A and B are shown apart, each in its own frame.
Chain A
Amino acid sequence: MAEKVLRKAESFYPLYERKGGAAPDVTHYCPGCGHGVLHKLIAEAIDDFGIRERTILISPVGCSVFAYYYFRVGNIQAPHGRAPAVATGIKRVYPESIVISYQGDGDLAAIGGNNILQAANRGEKISVFFVNNAIYGMTGGQMAPTTLIGQKTTTSPLGRRASNEGYPMRMSELIATLEAPIYVERVALTDAKNTTKVRRAVRKALKNQIENKGFSFVEVLSICPSGWKMEPTQAKEWLTQEMMRIFPLGVYKDRSDEIEEAGVQPTVFSAQDLQDSLNLPETDSASAKREPKTGVPEKYRNPRLKIAGFGGQGVLILGVGIAQAGMDDGYHVSWLPSYGPEMRGGTANCSVNLSSRIIGSPLVTQPTVLVAMNLPSLEKFEKDVAPGGLILTDSSLVDRAPSRTDIEHLGVPATKLADELGNTRVANLVMLGAYIAYTGVLDKDVVHSSLPRFIKRKALIDLNKQAIQKGMEFVSHQVKA
């Protein structure tokens, strides 16, 4: 603290533009909330260590979900309880970064209980700041795993009872039993003396990471005046008198000094390495991959497909097939499945994009091609099809034409044709044949050479080729007729 002034840290944004609203210069936290104080101690340490440019903070779900409004560092907001998993991924691909997992007690000890234990057990080289305020603050004061016996919350209105809800979980003690963590301490945001210890612990956990030593865990007992329904000053009393009895302060584990400071080998991301390790063909992924295939009418180019049917009709495989063949032919592709709630007899659909340009989103909300393998699929998706789009139906099962008149329709008796081959389950490939013959988007040869990549059973390859042939022939008869 050699500085002669204590002021807002540089690692905070001067103005919280992401927060916006009427007061973009103050946090969203309640008066007295411990989150704000811990934010200040973390931001100050980031300033002092000069690590702002390489710090990545993972915000949790909970009151601190918006930590990214405030910290002028790299920010990612993780799903509930998953901050340690997200932190793991970032730290591993980017080991020179300083990764902070910031979590509340609902986030870390309830929904994310296993996540934190596994990350600690793996000894991920991250710093975890765990705000224990004995309650779910954000959602209005429900019981947390850390709620004290007898403590009244909205979900324990008569007070927590061990017989019904178990005992408060002591996460520091639990984590300290694991082999890998190098530093585990519990501190408390109460008076000046204890706050100094919080400050020291925050700095130590970050220093351990700067020195590439290992997993550090700091549990910070913190007041939640709103959730506890107390004035901030009264809340400090309660924390000191009640919480600290159940959650004793102290260092539960510290191997920091035994471990040699180590340098970090920075990763240099190389697209070539990725391509080599995935065994991908050489492409220039940043620019257009291919010219639109010649001879394809404008309206069929770069299709956005929705393919839907009963579970078991192979609609997902049909989508994979189109995407795989498209990829092998040099298109940018995406395939996104969506499963119905029921496993059997339910509906399934997938979204497929084939494009000569980079695909922004794999979602297909306005398909240019709808493949409806049954009636419910036609009913569900017909309205979404882009004007001028193409609807393919399995006319052996869908006994009506689409009701829209601003689209093009082709009925293909796919199931019946598949039956003729002795296997109704290849109706999907009959449809594939019809689709490519009708639009010209993919060549038969390309699809044939892609087949082994999406049809795993070798014995079925020939049958599938026949099915494609059936579909193609149907279209050519149709067109001639």
Chain B
Amino acid sequence: MGVEKGLQVPKVVIREDECKGCGLCIQACPENVLFVQKHFNRMGYHPAGYQGEGCIGCGFCFYQCPEPGAITVYKKGYVGEEVEA
């Protein structure tokens, strides 16, 4: 099922396996909804995580992150493929 009507609440998705734990997204987030996770990912980094709510879809984290595929930001009104968990 895709998102058809337009996403109501913005959302950030972090692909942990592509994250190098640099922390730049966390530093940049104006809403402080990103944090360093305790576990290690496959590369041995502590990946960034999303608290699960509070993202306003500003995209600051996306433009700070050096990894092309690590962060996806879905803004309010997004229509398209289903948003990953």
Cβ distance A3 to chain B, nearest Cβ, rounded Å: 8
Q: A residues near B, CB below 8 A?
A: 1, 4-9, 12, 23, 25-27, 29-37, 39-41, 43, 70, 191-192, 195-196, 199, 225, 231-233, 236
Contacts of B68 in A (CB 8 A): 8-9, 12, 27, 36, 39-40, 43, 70
Interface size for B (C-beta < 8 A) is 35
Interface contact A8-B72, CB-CB below 8 Å: yes
Contacts of A12 in B (CB 8 A): 68-69
Indicate with 1 or 0, residue by residue over B15-32, a CB within 8 angstroms of chain A CB atoms: 001101111100110000
Contacts of B22 in A (CB 8 A): 31-32, 225, 232-233
B50 within 8 A of A: no
Interface contact A195-B78, CB-CB below 8 Å: no
Contacts of B28 in A (CB 8 A): 191-192
Indicate with 1 or 0, residue by residue over B66-79, a CB within 8 angstroms of chain A CB atoms: 11111111111111
Contacts of B7 in A (CB 8 A): 4
Contacts of B71 in A (CB 8 A): 6
- For the complex, what is the distance from the CA of A103 to the CA of B63, rounded to whole Å? 21
Q: B residues near A, CB below 8 A?
A: 7, 17-18, 20-24, 27-28, 42-43, 45, 58-60, 62-80
- For the complex, what is the distance from the CA of A29 to the CA of B43, rounded to whole Å? 13
Contacts of A5 in B (CB 8 A): 72-75, 78, 80
Given the interface pairs A4-B75, A37-B63, the reply to whether A31 lies near B21 with Cβ below 8 Å is: yes
Interface contact B69-A25, CB-CB below 8 Å: yes
Cβ distance A48 to chain B, nearest Cβ, rounded Å: 14
Q: What are 29 A-to-B residue pairs whose CB atoms are below 8 Å?
A: A4-B7, A4-B75, A4-B76, A5-B72, A5-B73, A6-B63, A8-B69, A23-B42, A23-B43, A25-B17, A26-B43, A26-B69, A26-B70, A31-B21, A31-B45, A31-B66, A32-B20, A32-B23, A33-B66, A34-B66, A35-B66, A37-B64, A37-B66, A39-B66, A41-B63, A195-B63, A199-B63, A231-B23, A233-B22
Q: How many A-B residue pairs have CB under 8 A?
A: 100
Contacts of B20 in A (CB 8 A): 26, 30-32
Contacts of B70 in A (CB 8 A): 26
- For the complex, what is the distance from the CA of A25 to the CA of B16, rounded to whole Å? 12
**10 closest cross-chain pairs (CB), A and B:** A36-B66, A32-B22, A31-B20, A31-B22, A4-B78, A6-B62, A232-B22, A8-B69, A6-B73, A7-B72
Given the interface pairs A4-B74, A26-B18, the reply to whether A236 lies near B24 with Cβ below 8 Å is: yes
Contacts of B66 in A (CB 8 A): 27, 29, 31-37, 39-40
Cβ distance B51 to chain A, nearest Cβ, rounded Å: 19
- For the complex, what is the distance from the CA of A212 to the CA of B67, rounded to whole Å? 31
Given the interface pairs A191-B28, A233-B23, A236-B24, the reply to whether A37 lies near B69 with Cβ below 8 Å is: no
Closest chain B residue to A14, Cβ basis: B69
Contacts of A30 in B (CB 8 A): 20
Contacts of B79 in A (CB 8 A): 4
Cβ distance A453 to chain B, nearest Cβ, rounded Å: 54
Interface contact A26-B67, CB-CB below 8 Å: yes
- For the complex, what is the distance from the CA of A123 to the CA of B61, rounded to whole Å? 37
Contacts of B21 in A (CB 8 A): 31
- For the complex, what is the distance from the CA of A1 to the CA of B74, rounded to whole Å? 12
Contacts of A192 in B (CB 8 A): 28, 58, 60, 63-64
Interface contact B59-A6, CB-CB below 8 Å: yes
Contacts of B72 in A (CB 8 A): 5-8
Cβ distance A38 to chain B, nearest Cβ, rounded Å: 9
Closest chain B residue to A43, Cβ basis: B68
Interface contact B67-A36, CB-CB below 8 Å: yes
- For the complex, what is the distance from the CA of A36 to the CA of B64, rounded to whole Å? 9
Contacts of A41 in B (CB 8 A): 63
Closest chain B residue to A3, Cβ basis: B75
Closest chain B residue to A4, Cβ basis: B78
Contacts of A231 in B (CB 8 A): 23
Closest chain A residue to B21, Cβ basis: A31
- For the complex, what is the distance from the CA of A226 to the CA of B76, rounded to whole Å? 37
Contacts of A40 in B (CB 8 A): 63, 65-66, 68
Given the interface pairs A4-B75, A5-B74, A23-B43, the reply to whether A232 lies near B24 with Cβ below 8 Å is: yes
